């Protein structure tokens, strides 16, 4: 008996059912990765921190793709490099074109916070393994560092901290300085921040010495200089550089003497830090007197980082 083959019978036998299509999609990791990466690219292209939950199709793809997927990880790294490098260059260019570099500094920190939060969220959402997360963190930190160390951007950062630490106008609060210092430490720029603040610290000491101490022979000035340093400068640095320059302690042992003679030359003990000798010599070089004597001592710093203080 011959079998009749109608169009409906043919479709029933050979056409894929919805279940079969869904199964094929689940078995295609490249398709799932593409949907996830397309959505990540959309989020990276926006500046908003409120990007919401991923759509249903992306959530389904995330469930299908599993943990530590290499295709998804490689795609995420490419997207982060592309978008964050472009955004960093745009920030540097915007700061270079601005007449007020300091006004662009908050935007730099907002971008770092936003991009960092997004990257960490993506790594968690994609269920990356520990080593992949470490590589993502290292990648984005390198981009943030390159942006912050751009010459124009770094000048803006220097102006930002100089204004916040020493300006009497108070345009930048101490809380803002502490928050931004924490951000720089998170992206592994703590050493660069410390060096920058040391340079600002030295510049302020030099200006203070030239304004308040030079040509003053009728009264001692060392104690006033020491009090100003510890009462005005040091408290501003404790929260900004925790564990770095916050250990300015009184130390009565192993005091050394810095003598600036008529030739503006220094004769010091071995415990004087070079930059202290350099700044003191520079400050007094123009108005030297043989009897001027500065005493410095070397404090104990618990984390073994070099520090110094003026001793009265």
Q: Is the pTM of this model over 0.75?
A: no
pLDDT for 52: 80
Alpha-helical segments (H) within 67-173: 70-97, 105-125, 130-148, 151-166
From CA 293, how far away is CA 277, in angstroms rounded? 12
Question: Each residue of 50-103: pLDDT tens digit?
Answer: 778 899 999 999 999 889 999 999 999 999 999 999 999 999 999 999 888 899
pLDDT for 11: 41
Q: pLDDT above 70 covers what percent of the chain?
A: 67
Q: For residue 17, how many other CB atoms are within 10 A of its CB?
A: 9
pLDDT for 91: 95
Does the pLDDT at position 27 exceed 60? Answer: no
Question: Each residue of 155-202: pLDDT tens digit?
Answer: 999 999 999 988 877 788 888 999 999 999 999 999 999 999 999 988
Does the pLDDT at position 280 exceed 70? Answer: no
From CA 225, how far away is CA 295, in angstroms rounded? 11
**Domain range annotation of the chain:** 1-188, 190-312
Confidence of residue 243 (pLDDT cuts 50, 70, 90): low
From CA 23, how far away is CA 21, in angstroms rounded? 5
Tokens of 133: 């997360």
Per the model's pLDDT, the better-predicted residue between 147 and 212 turns out to be 147
Question: Each residue of 286-297: pLDDT tens digit?
Answer: 433 333 333 333
Contact 129, 173 (CB under 8 A): no
Per the model's pLDDT, the better-predicted residue between 18 and 184 turns out to be 184
Q: What is the mean pLDDT of the chain?
A: 74
Confidence of residue 258 (pLDDT cuts 50, 70, 90): very low
Does the pLDDT at position 21 exceed 90? Answer: no
One-character DSSP codes across 183-228: HHHHTT-HHHHHHHHHHHHHHHHHHHIIIIITT--SS--HHHHHHH
């Amino acid at each position: 008996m011959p079998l009749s083959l109608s169009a409906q019978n043919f479709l029933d036998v050979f056409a894929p059912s919805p279940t079969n299509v869904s199964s094929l999609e689940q078995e295609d990791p490249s398709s799932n990765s593409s949907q996830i990466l397309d959505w990540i690219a959309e989020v990276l292209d926006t500046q908003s921190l409120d990007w919401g939950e991923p759509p249903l199709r992306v959530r389904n793809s995330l469930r299908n793709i599993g943990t530590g997927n290499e295709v998804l990880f490689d795609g995420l790294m490419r997207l982060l490099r592309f978008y964050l490098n472009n955004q960093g260059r745009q920030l540097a260019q915007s700061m270079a074109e601005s007449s007020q570099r300091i006004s662009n500094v908050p935007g730099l920190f907002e971008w770092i916070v936003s991009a960092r939060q997004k990257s960490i969220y993506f790594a968690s959402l994609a269920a990356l393994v520990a080593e992949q997360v470490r590589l993502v963190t290292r990648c984005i930190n390198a981009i943030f560092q390159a942006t912050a160390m751009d010459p124009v951007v770094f000048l803006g950062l220097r102006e930002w901290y100089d204004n916040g630490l020493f300006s009497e106008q108070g345009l930048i609060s101490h809380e803002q300085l502490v928050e931004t210092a924490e951000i720089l430490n998170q992206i592994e720029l703590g050493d660069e921040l410390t060096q920058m603040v040391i340079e600002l610290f030295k510049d302020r000491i030099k200006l203070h010495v030239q304004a308040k101490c030079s040509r003053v022979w009728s009264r001692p000035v060392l104690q006033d200089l020491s009090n100003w340093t510890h009462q005005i400068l040091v408290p501003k640095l404790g929260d900004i550089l925790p564990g770095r320059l916050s250990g300015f302690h009184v130390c009565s042992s192993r005091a050394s003497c810095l003598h600036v003679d008529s030739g503006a030359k220094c004769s010091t003990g071995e415990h004087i830090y070079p930059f202290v000798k350099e700044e003191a010599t520079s400050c007094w070089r123009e108005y030297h007197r043989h009897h001027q004597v500065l005493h410095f001592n070397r404090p104990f710093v618990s984390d073994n980082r070099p520090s110094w203080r003026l001793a009265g």
